[in-house]
Amino acid sequence: MKKSCIILIVLSVLLFSGNGFSQTTSLQKDIINIYPKNHSVFVNTKSPLIFNVTKTFINSGLQNINFRVTGTKSGTHETTRKIARNGKTLLIKPDTPFVPAETVLVEVIQKTKPENILLSYSFTISPNTWSLLSNKEMLNNSLVDAQYSAKQTSQSRESLLEDPNLPEDFPKYYVSEKNNPGAGHYFVNALSRDTAKAEYNLIIDTTGFPVFYQHFPPHHRENFFTYHPAVELLTYYDESIYRFVALNNNLEKVGTYEAIGYFTDLHELILNEDGSYWLFGYDTEPVDMSQIYPGGCSSALVTGTIIQKIDADSNLVFEWSSWDHFSILDADTGIVDLTKCQFDYCHGNALSFDSVGNVLLSSRNMSEITKIDVQTGDIIWRMGGYHNQFTFTNDTIPFKGQHNIKYLGSSLYSMFDNGNSRMPPFTRAITYQLDETNMTATLVEDYQQNDPPDFTPFMGSNQKLDNGSHVIGWAFNLEKYALTQFDINGNIEFEIKPVDTFSLISYRATKYVWETSLFNFNADTLDFGTNILIGDSAFTQVCLVNQSDNSIEINGYYCTDSTFTLATPLPFTLEGNSCDTITIRFKPVNTTPVSAVFSIYHQTDSIRIACQTRVLGGGIIDNIFINKQPDKKLLIAPNPCRTQCNISFNDRSAINRIKVFSLKGKLIKDITVNNKRSITLSKMQQGVWLVKLFGKKSFATGKLIVR
């Protein structure tokens, strides 16, 4: 009798443990991960069965097995097999949905007589019967606590921008710090806490000028506007359709992205070059919290986090559910009240990936960062929160309510530490060096604003740039900071502040190099030269290229220095696939060299699209002019030339520098030399070129003809 009991126990363990393998077979080696997992709960009624498998299984094992899927209420389901384009994901799709609250048994059966069950496991379907959109109200209710509402106050500052063409309801902001921030554009969205106010998606250059904005009317909420450089797409979350919208660099809508089987969460979207993407599903389920937590609500609605990867064919190839791996009691009770009848215990707000593609999940309401094995779905480690596995060195302050986890390489992990439930609460942008063998986390970067530091209760971002600088998006910050760029030493390189407390709230603030491909200048720089007398005007023509098939009305321009103006009358029409010449005027007012950004744009009530070029010039600014030395003559021989020519001053005096320009003002060559008597130019393209030769206290100009 004792022996029989032991055998029954062993069989039971083999049948129901782990993924549910009923016996030891090669199948265990070939099936890496299954979703839904054995004993999964709250599974979607339309969920496919996802098998992450080896190619051996696809090539040889699959043809010898069948899949039997049986629901306790819905009965046996016919299924369809599909292999995803990655060649390692097998999808078994039931032809009809499961029934809410039923248990589903999955059996993998070897094609033999009698049949041999190789694998057996079960999961439970969600009892939900409401529509996906019912999650919208729950999502909105979970975002903001009433304690952070505040009356709008205004600073006694006006916006730096003096562009009269900006819409009346455009968010007012100014650049408070600017110290060589480097190339790039800042991507933000102006969220309104007042649903009666309009919202904007914005791309702002390093002068503070909005090269792009997208206006949305009141009651049309937009979130998480950013750029994806790898695929050259802009995306934002549109709450009117509850999904992400993608724009190409021509600002045309080219697609949408949404979760499969769940309400699409607005907190994350990652686009891959192969057409696949990652995002969150927002899943609210009924839970009797009175059985779980003292004073809990017996009819609570509790929200969990679903992670999905969807391939370019719209196949769900990876899914991970917080219900399978976290407990509701993992919630940080300094942030979440578990006695409420509606709450989000996890609140996933960011995804990232380590060097081998494992998933990093930020769960705000658990104050936890979790690393997940992308192959098996198992948790690798947990950092922060009640289940923290790391010892923190050089840091005695636990992160709380964090956002925007990122892997930076070299075992460095950054995040935006909101600091909820700290006393007093304060916010910082931090980076840890992780030793995943000895499980230590060493604080190596800590960016804060002011002393004592300010507090952002929710949202926010921390982006490391290629040069080591960080762009910090302060989001909902009552101390009136929108974004700050710090260098590696903590010095401020660039900062934008809103004029009003709530005029520029952005979920994240990011920086990337971007320009529209709709239309642009054919020259990156226009140099008007240094020999223009104060009060005189110089005119340069430049081509504006329309790269689209449609005509564009150009109806506005802006320059960061008023000495440069557009001489071509506005508005004018730029025909499709054309290059039209416009004229820019430079009129210096003093001897200071001028470097400015010239923008020209198309604008309507709902959108602005600008292209830009840099303009350079100066009055009498060189020491050669200050010392009032006369111009010298330039000798070019031969002229016209074919392959090369020699250039010198007529008196053979020393040359320090030579510049060659196109007739449209584009700098072609800029050569610095050390007191040579002549310079040889070679390999010039055919055409007419403007040559400027500089000596220590003199200069000369002339035209070079190349045939």
> What digits encode the pLDDT tens for the residues 578-587?
999 999 999 9
Among 451, 430, 450, CA closest to 441? 430
Residue 698 CA from chain centroid, whole number: 51
pLDDT at residue 342 is higher than 60 = yes
Q: How many separate helices (H) and strands (E) can be counted in the chain?
A: 6, 52
What was the pLDDT predicted at 140? Answer: 53
* Rounded Cα distance, 636 and 470, in Å: 50
* Rounded Cα distance, 505 and 483, in Å: 10
What was the pLDDT predicted at 60? Answer: 76
What was the pLDDT predicted at 547? Answer: 86
What was the pLDDT predicted at 702? Answer: 81
What was the pLDDT predicted at 153? Answer: 43
* Rounded Cα distance, 336 and 296, in Å: 12
- The CATH code that applies to domain 628-706 is 2.60.40.10
What was the pLDDT predicted at 632? Answer: 67
Among 375, 344, 497, 326, CA closest to 32? 375
pLDDT at residue 409 is higher than 90 = yes
What was the pLDDT predicted at 146? Answer: 36
Q: Whole-prediction pTM value?
A: 0.82
More confident: 216 or 388: 388
Average pLDDT over residues 153-181: 73
**Maximum average pLDDT range among 57-71, 142-156, 401-415, 670-684:** 401-415
* Rounded Cα distance, 185 and 227, in Å: 10
* Rounded Cα distance, 97 and 86, in Å: 26
What was the pLDDT predicted at 694? Answer: 83
Q: Which helix (H) or strand (E) holds 213?
A: strand 210-216
- Cβ-count burial of 456 within 10 angstroms (0-12 exposed, 13-18 middle, 19+ buried)? buried
- Phi/psi of residue 401, each to 5°? 60, 35
Confidence of residue 529 (pLDDT cuts 50, 70, 90): confident
499's torsion region: left (phi>0), alpha (psi -120 to 50) or beta? alpha
Average pLDDT over residues 214-224: 81
Helix segments in 274-425, DSSP class H: 322-325
State the DSSP code for 323: H
pLDDT at residue 133 is higher than 60 = no
What CATH topology corresponds to 519-617? Answer: Immunoglobulin-like (2.60.40)
What was the pLDDT predicted at 512? Answer: 96
pLDDT at residue 111 is higher than 50 = yes
DSSP string of 139-176, one letter each residue = HHHHH--GGG-----B-S---S---TTS-TTPPPEEEE
Q: Which two tokens stand for residue 198?
A: 């309009």
> What digits encode the pLDDT tens for the residues 536-556?
889 999 999 998 889 999 999
pLDDT at residue 627 is higher than 70 = no
pLDDT at residue 6 is higher than 60 = no
Q: Which two tokens stand for residue 184?
A: 């790039």
pLDDT at residue 238 is higher than 50 = yes
More confident: 529 or 278: 278
> What digits encode the pLDDT tens for the residues 365-403?
999 999 999 999 999 999 999 999 999 999 999 999 999
What CATH topology corresponds to 2-124? Answer: Immunoglobulin-like (2.60.40)
What was the pLDDT predicted at 424? Answer: 86
Domains 2-124 and 519-617 share a fold: yes
Tell me what the pLDDT averaged over the chain comes to. 86
Contact 209, 599 (CB under 8 A): yes
Q: Which stretch of 277-291, 301-315, 357-371, 612-626 has the lowest confidence by average pLDDT? A: 612-626
What was the pLDDT predicted at 61? Answer: 75
Among 214, 220, 262, CA closest to 241? 220
More confident: 651 or 306: 306
Q: Which two tokens stand for residue 553?
A: 């009305």
Q: What angle do CA 95, 98, 99 make, to 5 degrees?
A: 145
Average pLDDT over residues 11-36: 58
* Rounded Cα distance, 664 and 241, in Å: 47
| Residue spans per domain, the chain | 2-124, 519-617, 628-706
> What digits encode the pLDDT tens for the residues 445-463?
999 887 777 888 889 999 9
Residue carrying structure tokens 């923190």:
392
* Rounded Cα distance, 306 and 293, in Å: 23
pLDDT at residue 602 is higher than 70 = yes
pLDDT at residue 567 is higher than 80 = yes
Query: Amino acid letter at 126?
Result: S
State the DSSP code for 494: E
Contact 493, 181 (CB under 8 A): yes
pLDDT at residue 151 is higher than 70 = no
* Rounded Cα distance, 496 and 283, in Å: 36
What was the pLDDT predicted at 668? Answer: 84
